[in-house]
Amino acid sequence: MDFNNATTFNENFSSERFRRVHQPYDHQHWDYFFERGDLPAPAWMHYATGSYILLVSLTGSIGNALLLWAFSCAPTLRSPSNLLIANLAVADLGLSLFTFPLITISSYQKQWAFGKIGCDYYVVTAGLFGLGSISTMASISVDRWCSITKWSQWHLTYRRAYIWMMAIWLYSFAMIGPPLMGWSRYVIEGFQTSCTFDWLTHEPSSVAFVWYLIILGFLLPLFVIFLCYTQIISHLVRHRTIMSKAGFSLRPSEGGRKFVRASDSGVAFEPVRPRANSTMGGQCIQILNHELGLET
What's residue 251's pLDDT? 53
Report residue 25's pLDDT band, with 50, 70 and 90 as the boundaries. low
What is residue 273's DSSP assignment?
Answer: P
* Residue 231 pLDDT > 60: yes
Nearest to 247 by CA among 193, 295, 287, 206: 287
Q: 258-294 pLDDT, tens per residue?
A: 444 444 444 444 444 444 444 444 554 455 455 544 4
* Residue 58 pLDDT > 50: yes
**113-117, 207-211, 215-219, 250-254: least confident range:** 250-254
Task: Give buried/exposed letters for 83-101 (b at 16+ CB in 10 A, else e).
Answer: bbbbbbbbbbbbbbbbbbe
Report residue 241's pLDDT band, with 50, 70 and 90 as the boundaries. confident
Q: 131-145 pLDDT, tens per residue?
A: 999 999 999 999 999
* Residue 7 pLDDT > 80: no
Report residue 9's pLDDT band, with 50, 70 and 90 as the boundaries. very low
What CA dihedral angle connects 150, 156, 161 and 167, to 10 degrees?
-30
Do the beta carbons of residue 110 and residue 46 sit within 8 Å? Answer: yes
What's residue 23's pLDDT? 54
Polymer length in residues for the chain: 296
193 or 22: whose pLDDT is higher?
193
What's residue 112's pLDDT? 87
| CA dist., res. 8 & res. 48, Å (int) | 25
Do the beta carbons of residue 156 and residue 83 sit within 8 Å? Answer: no
What's residue 167's pLDDT? 97
Instruction: Kindly report the pTM of this predicted structure.
Output: 0.73
Give the number of other Cβ atoms within 10 Å of residue 41's Cβ.
17
For residue 246, give the 3-state DSSP assignment.
coil
Report residue 192's pLDDT band, with 50, 70 and 90 as the boundaries. confident
* Mean pLDDT over each residue of the chain, to the nearest integer: 78
| CA dist., res. 272 & res. 283, Å (int) | 11
DSSP secondary structure letters along 95-160: HHHHTHHHHHHHHHHTS--SHHHHHHHHHHHHHHHHHHHHHHHHHHHHHHHHHHHSTTT----HHH
Do the beta carbons of residue 95 and residue 129 sit within 8 Å? Answer: yes
What's residue 38's pLDDT? 62
Query: Kindly report the CA angle at 199 between 198 and 205, in degrees rounded to 5?
Result: 75
| CA dist., res. 210 & res. 201, Å (int) | 10
DSSP secondary structure letters along 153-194: T----HHHHHHHHHHHHHHHHHHH-GGGGTSS-EEE-TTSS-
Report residue 104's pLDDT band, with 50, 70 and 90 as the boundaries. very high
What's residue 281's pLDDT? 46
> All domains of the chain, ordered by start, with CATH?
3-227 (1.20.1070.10), 246-291 (no CATH)
